[in-house]
Amino acid sequence: RQIQNTHTGLDLSVPEYQEIRGKMMSGHVEYHIVVVTRLAAFKSAKHKPEDVVQFMVSKKYSEIEELYHRLTARYPQVSLPLLPRKVLFVGESDISERRAMFNDIMKFISKDEDLAMSPELLEFLGTKSSSAVDFKGKNVPDDRKKGDEENEALDFFKEEKTPDLISQLLSVKNVKKGEEKEEGDEEEEEILDPLGIIRY
């Protein structure tokens, strides 16, 4: 793809969002920020200087809001487009309106040379973290990685986390009991562990 902002070497847009459903009623929205750039910070050693790279990062409202405040604090002379307001319950229309406003903000940032080159933005888009540039994740030499895997295989007694379900059941049970006195740990073990595995 051709870069539109040739003076900054960076195009940003927010073409879509995705709702991430959590447990019960929880969940959040991630806004997909598409980055098209020829800035060296986003390239690996294999790229040529004229190469254009394209990738996408997903960010929550709070992460975009944090970047916004960091940029306005550092560059007070720049008047960024308005940030969508915070609301407690977000409906479908709010989300698409937010996406459009985030799109305006990102387009504005990518046109401004100071903002496009700012360490805040580069960090936000993942040049320091491994997410944007290095898709493998860890920058660990292969032999060290192998060693880690072997150690993992040998460690039979790795502590396993008990499923979250148990703590949820306990808290529900305790809520039901209210202020009543609890009837000893043994009974709880019986209920949660009919085979007696935990005790032995």
Count of the separate structural domains present in the chain? 1
Residue 198, domain member (yes or no): no
pLDDT per residue as tens, the chain (200 positions): 788 999 999 999 999 999 888 777 778 899 999 999 988 888 888 888 888 999 999 999 999 999 999 999 999 999 999 999 887 777 888 899 999 999 999 999 999 999 999 999 999 998 744 333 333 333 334 444 444 444 444 444 444 444 555 555 555 555 544 444 444 444 444 445 555 555 54
Non-local (6+) Cβ contacts of 81 within 8 A are 101, 104, 105, 108
Question: Quick one: residue 3, left, alpha or beta (phi over 0 = left, psi -120 to 50 = alpha)?
Answer: beta
Nearest Cα to 58, choosing from 135, 133, 151, 126?
A: 126
Residue 22, domain member (yes or no): yes
Residue 58, domain member (yes or no): yes
Indicate which CATH number applies to the domain containing 80: 3.30.1520.10
In this predicted model, what pLDDT tens digit does every residue of 41-57 receive, in sequence order? 888 888 888 889 999 99
Residue 132, domain member (yes or no): no
Residue 162, domain member (yes or no): no
Contact predicate 116/5, CB 8 Å: yes
Residue 199, domain member (yes or no): no
Query: Which structural domain, as residue segments, surrounds residue 63?
Result: 10-125
